Structure 1
Amino acid sequence: MIRLYDYPLSGNCFKVRQMLSWLGLAWEPVAVDFHPGKAHKSSEFLANVNPRGQLPVIDDDGFMLRDAQAILVYLASRYDQENRWYPESPRLRGEIAMWLATADEITATASAARLHDAFGYALDVRSARAGAHALFRLMDDHLAERASAGQRWLVGEGADARPTIADLACFPYVALAPEGGIDLDAYPALRRWVRDVRHVSGFIGMPGIFVPLAPA
């Protein structure tokens, strides 16, 4: 069974929990006291789990893998028999890789601002917010152009296009951006995309990102 070193308030850990859920995989959480305990920086964690002192990490029958984006690629490549979440098309995989890199930038900006406001981390929050806004403007333009062509997701073409790991990788720290003092009002296409991801069947949510209510 897959073990996930997890923290409930982490957007990066949420990506993995959501992917495991969408793939229907059994898994076991290993709770890590990220805040306030900083257990991810303990000598035991650094020696035995992740020398970079970061979450998430998975243990799949002895195979240890760190980094949320890398874990999404691995899980989708190994367990998604339909190739839904990580399609085989070289073009789509190239585009997905581009958005996985963007997800890392979102973590370095929007997530950093959230760490400042919600967890008290000392960092340059103005720079983090400015960086997040620059990324969100680009994403909003991209999604608006795709919406004008009838496309809802970051990558994919045609009426049968579906969300991929690109959408999941970028999603949580966009949705959680207001917790870092980053207003999304100026990004209508981005907000529509956040709503669309939340309405994908099997969405599980996390604190701060709620599962939509079922219609009455």
Structure 2
Amino acid sequence: MKLYHYPLSGHAHRAALFLSLTGVPHQLIEVDLSAGEHKQPAFLALNAFGEVPVLDDAGVIIADSLAILVYIARKLGPSHWLPSEPAEEAEVQRWLSVAAGKIAYGACAARLITVFGAPFNAEEVIGRAYTTLAVMEQTLKDQRWLASTEQPTIADVALYSYIARAPEGNVDLTSYPQVQAWLRQIEELPGFVPFQRTRAGLQA
């Protein structure tokens, strides 16, 4: 498998992280976003939206980080990463929706302001990030993993990157000890690869 990625993209990191956690052989191909490589015809042929990550599995092209997580999990076959029991799978899908919505327009957007100069309203997206963190904190008080499973799922992978680097977007994790413990659990998993840090926001 080939994964087209960019080291500072949390979307790309979640895909690279999952490939590493599962031990799936893969090659990382960096796309130079600063040079506009993602807007060139060769890359647009892989993803018409011009976004990373993109997975190339022997000619099967999967664009979108969450789609990549589902694809890899299904390729692995039955596993704890994507449960087949209906209630558990629904819970995983719920958190994938959180990743696509509340995280993307909360912690992710807050980091985009400080790292890439994105024109979001800082107060709005930081407030949304704290609302999501409060729900996560409450959820994790009585369980180890987000989807109420005994082992981690792709839901945990989907949320990890932007929560781990939330301080770069001026989102303080100090008041969320359960979330911090959850982050450490993921970081202790075999095959874990860190998300590249930047000196931005609270990390400046």
TM-score, L = length of structure 1: 0.85
Name the residue aligned to 1:213. none
Q: CA RMSD in A?
A: 1.6
- Provide the aligned length of Structure 1 versus Structure 2: 197
Question: Looking at both structures, which has the greater relative contact order when contacts are Cα pairs under 8 Å and sequence separation is at least 6?
Answer: 2
Name the residue aligned to 2:202. none
**What are the superposed Cα offsets for residues 11-64 of structure 1, whole Å, 9 maximum, x if unpaired?**
111111111112211112221112x22322334432x12111211111111111
Q: How does 1:67-216 map to 2 (within 5 A)?
A: 67-79=64-76, 81-104=77-100, 105-144=102-141, 146=142, 151-157=143-149, 161-208=150-197
CA distance in 2, matches of 1:115, 1:40: 17
What amino acid sits opposite 2:175 in the alignment?
Answer: A
CA distance in 2, matches of 1:7, 1:108: 20
Instruction: State whether residues 103 and 129 of structure 2, in contact with CA within 8 Å, keep that contact through their aligned partners in structure 1.
Output: yes
Structure 1 residues 164 and 173: CA distance shift in structure 2, 3 A: same
Is 1:15 the counterpart of 2:11? The answer is no
CA distance in 1, matches of 2:52, 2:106: 17
Deviates more, 1:194-203 or 1:168-177: 194-203
What amino acid sits opposite 2:108 in the alignment?
Answer: S
TM-score, L = length of structure 2: 0.90
| Deviation (angstroms), 1:208 | 2.4
Structure 1 residues 153 and 15: CA distance shift in structure 2, 3 A: same
Structure 1 residues 121 and 42: CA distance shift in structure 2, 3 A: farther
SS of the equivalent of 1:59 reads: strand
> Unaligned regions of 5+ residues in structure 1, if any?
210-216
SS of the equivalent of 2:193 reads: coil
Identity of aligned residues (%): 37
Q: How does 1:54-73 map to 2 (within 5 A)?
A: 54-73=51-70
